[in-house]
Amino acid sequence: MLLSCPFRLISTLVFVVVCVACGESIPTTPAQSVPEAHIDPELQPFLESYVDDAARAGAPVEPDRLAELKRLEWVDEVEGAGDGEELNLGQCARGNENSIRASERFRTIKITRPETAGIHLNRAQGQLTLKAIVYHELGHCLHNYHGHRPVAEQVIMSAALPEKRFSEFNELLVEHFRMFR
Ligand SMILES: [Zn+2]
- What's the pLDDT tens digit per position in 74-100? 998 787 655 556 678 899 999 999 899
Q: Which residues of 108-147 are buried (b: 16+ CB within 10 A; e: fewer)?
A: bbbbbebeebebebeeebeebbbbbbbbbbbbbbbbbbee
Instruction: Flag whether 1 is in a domain.
Output: no
| Segment holding 93, helix H or strand E | strand 90-95
102 domain residue, yes or no: yes
Question: What is the rounded CA–CA span in Å between residue 148 and residue 92?
Answer: 13
Closest to 112 in 3D by CA, of 19, 27, 31, 42: 19
What interhelical angle do 6-14 and 123-141 show, nearest 10? Answer: 10
As for how many domains the chain has, the answer is 1
What contacts 106, CB < 8 A, 6 or more positions away? 32, 34, 35, 68, 69, 70, 94, 95, 96
The confidence score (pLDDT) of residue 80 equals: 65
* CA nearest to 46, candidates 181, 169, 178: 169
| Residue 117 resides in a domain | yes
How confident is residue 29, by pLDDT bands cut at 50, 70 and 90? low
The yes-or-no verdict on residue 15 having pLDDT over 80 is no
**How far does the centroid of ligand 1 lie from the alpha carbon of residue 4, in Å?**
31
For the chain, give the mean pLDDT. 84
The pLDDT assigned to 117 comes to 66
Give residue 159 CA to ligand 1 midpoint distance, Å: 6
1 Cα: distance to centroid of ligand 1 (angstroms): 31
Q: Would the pLDDT of 49 be above 80?
A: yes
Cα of 119 vs its chain's centroid, Å: 17
Q: Residue 26 has what pLDDT?
A: 63
Tell me what pLDDT residue 133 has: 94
Return the pLDDT at 149: 95
Whether residue 5 is contained in a domain is answered as no
In three state form, how does the secondary structure of 108-154 look?
EEEEECCCCCCCCCCHHHHHHHHHHHHHHHHHHHCCCCCCCECHHHC
Judge whether 72 lies within some domain.
yes
pLDDT at 7 over 60: no
Percent of the chain residues past pLDDT 70, beyond the cut:
79
Residue 11 is assigned to a structural domain of this protein: no
Whether 89 is in a domain gets the answer: yes
Structure confidence at residue 123 (pLDDT): 85
In a domain, 80, yes or no: yes
Distance 136 CA to ligand 1 centre (A): 6
Which domain does 71 fall in, by range?
A: 17-178
Compute, in angstroms, the gap from residue 22 CA to the centroid of ligand 1.
5
Residue 20 CA to ligand 1 centre (angstroms): 6
Q: Looking at residues 51-66, what average pLDDT do you find?
A: 97
